[in-house]
Amino acid sequence: MVDYLGIHILLELHGCPPERLRRPVDSERILLAAAAAMRARVVESRFHAFSPHGVSGVVVIAESHLTVHTWPEHGYAAVDVFSCGQLDLEAGLAILQEGYAATDAQQRRFGRGRVPTPPQ
């Protein structure tokens, strides 16, 4: 059996209204709401708008991080959630999908930091 130090979720959000993807303040609000729903402890957040399009941002949490990169011209947001704590990830993922008003969402999950379990 193998345990992992953390879980990394890649969230693909398509069909998002472009106006939700343009302003850093909107992405920051959405990611902070997701962190709160997960019951994560926020350490810091930083967001940046690019010209002519898009936002990149990170919310550092004590349990790891949430990041986003947006493409308003394509109605797309790429969100990463990495956690090495006991968080309510499903609650946060629902907030992210709802906050960006995505019409289509897919996710992939990866165990990170493989730790072999000693034999019994």
Residue range(s) defining the domain that contains residue 69: 2-116
pLDDT at 102: 98
**Tokens read off for 9:** 């979720």
Q: What is the CATH number of the domain that holds 16?
A: 3.60.90.10
Output DSSP code: residue 118.
Answer: P
**Residues recognised as catalytic:** 64, 69, 84
| pLDDT digits (tens), the chain, 120 positions | 569 999 999 999 999 999 999 999 999 999 999 999 999 999 999 999 999 999 999 999 999 999 999 999 999 999 999 999 999 999 999 999 999 999 999 999 999 999 877 777
pLDDT at 2: 66
List of E strands, 28-75: 42-49, 55-61, 64-71
Give CA–CA dist 65/34, Å, rounded.
11
Q: Report the predicted TM-score, pTM, of the whole model to 2 decimal places.
A: 0.93
* Count of the separate structural domains present in the chain: 1
